[in-house]
Amino acid sequence: MDRYPGGMPKSFLQPCLLLLLKEQPGYGYDLVTRLKALGIDDDSAAVYRSLRSLEERGAVYSYWNTSSTGPARRMYRLTPAGEEQLQSAVEALAETHLAIERYLCRHALAQSKCAESGDDPTPPTTTRPRLSGVAALRRSAR
């Protein structure tokens, strides 16, 4: 499965962009900066590719915002179709969240059973500490 370095699926970038645009219209660099608060540290090229893809699908539209104090910027706004896509993404992510939560809890339970029985399933070369389900979830949220 393709993953970002924090364990987030690649397809997570587009729902994040839709959410940010629902909150407030923005331009590319602004969105790249705002994504960092969601734990996405993508290069701007990936963000612009995703914005173009969202625009081709009718989820967002863009327009040029000219300013007397700076360069013209291509601004992006959410469309009604984008609102629907965002809602679909929220529902799918909620289901994924539940599945991951069940997995992490089951893993934590398996780890605790191994610890009680004295079995250590971790190879001796592993130096990374094992995280409980909740701790792993918190860590992936950062």
Residue ranges of domains in the chain, CATH in brackets: 10-141 (1.10.10.10)
CB distance 8 to 140 below 8 Å? yes
pLDDT tens, position by position, 81-97: 999 999 999 999 999 89
Could you tell me the sign of the dihedral formed by the alpha carbons of 75, 49, 1, 89, in that order? Answer: positive
Q: Are 96 and 102 in contact (CB under 8 A)?
A: no
Identity (one letter) of the amino acid at 113?
A: K
Please give the pLDDT value at position 117: 76
Measure the CA dihedral 94/99/104/105, to 10°.
100
Helix axes 28-35, 13-23, angle to 10 degrees: 110
User: Exposed e or buried b for every residue in 5-15, given b needs 16+ CB within 10 A?
Assistant: eeebeeebbbb
Note the pLDDT of residue 105: 95
Range in 32-41, 86-95, 101-110, 112-121 the model is least confident about: 112-121
What pLDDT digit, counting tens, does each position of 12-38 carry? 999 999 999 999 999 999 999 999 998
The pLDDT > 90 percentage for the chain reads 58
Q: Is the pLDDT of residue 103 over 60?
A: yes
Contact in structure between 89 and 15 (CB atoms under 8 Å): yes
The pTM of this model reads 0.73
Q: What is the distance between the alpha carbons of residues 49 and 140, in angstroms, rounded to a whole number?
A: 25
Q: How confident is the model at residue 10 (pLDDT cuts 50, 70, 90)?
A: low
Query: What is the average pLDDT value for the chain, to the nearest integer?
Result: 84
